[in-house]
Amino acid sequence: MARSVLVTGGNRGIGLAIAEAFQAAGDKVAVTHRGSGAPDGLFGVQCDVTDPDQVSAAFDEVEAVHGRVEVLVSNAGITEDGLLLRMGEEQFGRVVDANLAGSYRVAKRAASSMLRNRSGRMIFISSVVGLSGGAGQANYAASKAGLVGLARSVARELGSRSITANVVAPGFVRTDMTEELSEQRRAEILGQVPMGRLADPAEVAGTVQFLASDAAAYVTGAVIPVDGGLGMGH
C-alpha cells in the first residue's frame, strides 16, 4: 500500500534521489524546500528545519494531503567548514542547529503521528565523517555523530510501538555539496575509497528504501554505511 513519505531537503541532491525512488515505488511522497519549490511531479512544502513552527506547519500540510507520515527521511543538512581555532560560536551552532536539532524537530513531530499509527520508520542521513571525524569539520562531524545518539534513543523509546529509527552514513556522493570540493581534495578522497569513485545519489536511496521496507522490520538503531568502503572499521 502507498505510504505517506516525507523527505526533508528532498528538492535536490541525495534527498531528491530518495524522494524519486519512493515515488517510483508508488508511495505518496512529500519533500521540503526552503523557497525554491519542489521539482516537477513531487509534492513540496516549504520548511526550514531550524524553525519549529515551520516544521509543524509542513507536517500539517503534508498530512492533510497524504495522511499521517509513515516514513520520515531526515536528510536536510549543511556544511560550513573551518578549522577549530577559527570556528566561531555561530558557525558551530548553525550547523548543529540545521543538521542535528533539525532532525530532532522533525523526528519529534513525526513520532506523534507514528505513535497514533502504532508503526513508522525514521531514517536519518548522517555521514561517514560523523564516525571518523573530519579535519575542518568539527561542527558537521559533531552534528552527524549526534544523529546516532538521537536515532538510537528514538529506537529505544519507540521500538515497542513498531517504530524503527536507523542511520545511513554515506561517504562522498555526487551532489552540490561535493561540487564545492577542490580537485586536490577530491583526488585525496578517491585515494581512500576502495571503490575508487564517488557514489551516485541513487545508491544512497536504495539503502534508505531497504530500511523503510518490510524486509527491515526488525532493523533498528543501526548505522549503515554507504561509502564505497571509505569508513571500514568505524
Answer yes or no: 140 catalytic.
Answer: yes
48 binds ligand NDP (CB under 6 A): yes
89-to-10, 25, 206 alpha-carbon distances in Å: 28, 43, 36
- The helix/strand/coil state of 13 is helix
Element (H, E) at 95: helix 89-96
Report the alpha-carbon distance of residue 82 to residue 226 in Å, rounded.
25
The interface region with ligand NDP, picked from 30-38, 58-66, 81-89, 210-218 by CB under 6 A, is 30-38
- The helix/strand/coil state of 51 is coil
Report the alpha-carbon distance of residue 108 to residue 29 in Å, rounded.
19
Among 110, 172, 216, 223, binds ligand NDP (CB under 6 A): 172
Could you tell me the smallest distance in angstroms from the CB atom of residue 140 to ligand NDP?
Answer: 7
Return the C-alpha cell found at 145.
555523530
Residue in 29, 140, 163, 224 annotated catalytic: 140
Site for ligand NDP in 51-90 (CB under 6 A): 75-78
Residue found under cell 520548511: 47
Among 12, 66, 105, 121, binds ligand NDP (CB under 6 A): 12
- The helix/strand/coil state of 49 is coil
The interface region with ligand NDP, picked from 19-27, 45-53, 59-67, 153-161 by CB under 6 A, is 45-53
Active site residues: 140
Where on the chain is the footprint of ligand NDP (CB under 6 A)? Answer: 8-9, 11-15, 32-34, 36, 47-50, 75-78, 98, 102, 125, 127, 170, 172-173, 175-178
